[in-house]
Homo-oligomer: A and B are copies of this chain.
């Protein structure tokens, strides 16, 4: 815990670090003219006493043991997350990578206050049975306007987990239909499925990668391989995992080794597919394994995965739940790969607020209705928010702006980290927007850094075993980047001098 004297120092330094704003600097100055110019520190440490009290109270009825602090969203603005004690933290975590345009964004507020939003909230439809007259157009102007190249259909869901799971369902039904051809379901299929047995219940698999994260419900958790604690004691399907490349950094110094590593992983992938005792309906892969530690691979690897999928008629699902919607410097991170043929499905959630999966092949829609189906099939109120997010990103060219800010962050961090080679390594995310991470040499040192950041008024998150990940909003501008870098430099000096 910081003592009062340290706190005063911090507050002074925060003032010194304040940067002059100009309208040209970032979209934040347009959206948030009264955004703070530096963290505001009110209590000796964070969480402050009010946060602690409120969290204790909430903990009696709700599992909040993962809470960093209790937030005051009304007082949050732009890139600053306010806590219940009035501290305002510069936020480079953004609700686990899911706030797109900053807190209390005025354009999102207009959407939230609109009559169509009110109607969507109070008249929540069963979308597949009673779609609203507007839903098609809302999709076309928002979620579908943002669709990855080559995709023109969407199935909407409610979370990243169910986006992935409905994509898996589409894959299983597609592959079974392909085998079945024009034949009808057999009597054996119809009866065995009611006992959860083959042939009616599929014994096919979804392949995922070691360290991948795809959600926490039973199907998605079976493909999640990030950490044991996410999976322990929960039943899982006997589905295979393939190795994901472990690249060495800096990339330029390890080109040959990394290429060999990616070849090794592609070879293993093909071997696993060939040897798997049952069919593999689809493979799912993140452009960057985020929860698993911000593990990147090169376009060469992903093209290789695409080729293997094509060769073995396995559907390729790209999980863009965390990487999608701009932060990578492309709207969809898999656009970095320049694949010769697009993925079969792309899933989304988080920063889009709405969730679901894109596809093109109409056969990914099962031949019979009521198979890809549920009560709500998405949520029009989220589709409205997604539309505004998409339109604002376009209006202010926020994907390219994020790439520019990411360049500043990456280059400065590269210089900064190189001063502490025994403490930090493996800076990742060059030319990948603000989707940046690096490793500490131990879990404890990572934790010390994260905790110190919070005391300096920076909200930041970890991933993997000992990585720090940056996940700021798309309204995070050069001025925020420089402020952040200044604070980080200060923290390094304090911790490692």
Q: Which of A15-23, A160-168, A393-401, A479-487 contacts B (4 or more CB under 8 A)?
A: A160-168
Distance in angstroms between the alpha carbons of A304 and B103 in the assembled complex: 52
Q: Which of A36-44, A54-62, A403-411, A419-427 contacts B (4 or more CB under 8 A)?
A: A54-62
- A252 contacts across to B, CB distance below 8 A: none
- A488 contacts across to B, CB distance below 8 A: none
Closest to A371 in B: B229
Asked if A336 lies at the interface with its beta carbon under 8 angstroms from chain B, I say no
Closest to A143 in B: B61
Contact A96 B55 (CB under 8 A): no
- State the Cβ distance, A270 to closest chain B Cβ, in Å: 19
Asked if A328 lies at the interface with its beta carbon under 8 angstroms from chain B, I say no
Asked if A95 lies at the interface with its beta carbon under 8 angstroms from chain B, I say yes
Asked if A496 lies at the interface with its beta carbon under 8 angstroms from chain B, I say no
Query: With A61-B152, A372-B63 in contact, do A72 and B132 touch (Cβ < 8 Å)?
Result: yes
**Contact among B117, B193, B196 with A238 in the assembled complex (CB-CB below 8 Å):** B196
Contact B129 A67 (CB under 8 A): yes
Asked if A30 lies at the interface with its beta carbon under 8 angstroms from chain B, I say no
Q: Which residue, A70, A185, A201, has most C-beta atoms of chain B within 10 A?
A: A201
Distance in angstroms between the alpha carbons of A125 and B69 in the assembled complex: 12
* Supplied contacts A62-B131, A112-B121, 10 more A-B pairs, CB within 8 Å: A65-B128, A65-B369, A68-B129, A71-B130, A72-B132, A74-B119, A81-B130, A95-B375, A176-B233, A200-B232
A residues bordering B, Cβ < 8 Å? 50, 54-55, 57-58, 60-74, 76, 81, 84, 95-96, 98-99, 103-105, 108-109, 111-113, 115, 117-133, 135-136, 139-140, 144, 152-156, 158-162, 165, 168-169, 172-173, 175-177, 185, 189-191, 193-197, 200-205, 210, 215-220, 222, 225, 228-239, 241, 349-350, 353, 365, 368-376, 381, 385
A sample of 30 inter-chain contacts (CB < 8 A) reads: A60-B153, A61-B144, A61-B152, A62-B127, A62-B131, A62-B155, A62-B156, A63-B372, A71-B130, A71-B131, A71-B132, A73-B119, A81-B130, A96-B375, A98-B124, A98-B126, A104-B119, A108-B122, A112-B118, A121-B381, A121-B385, A161-B162, A173-B233, A190-B228, A194-B241, A197-B236, A201-B231, A216-B373, A217-B219, A230-B371
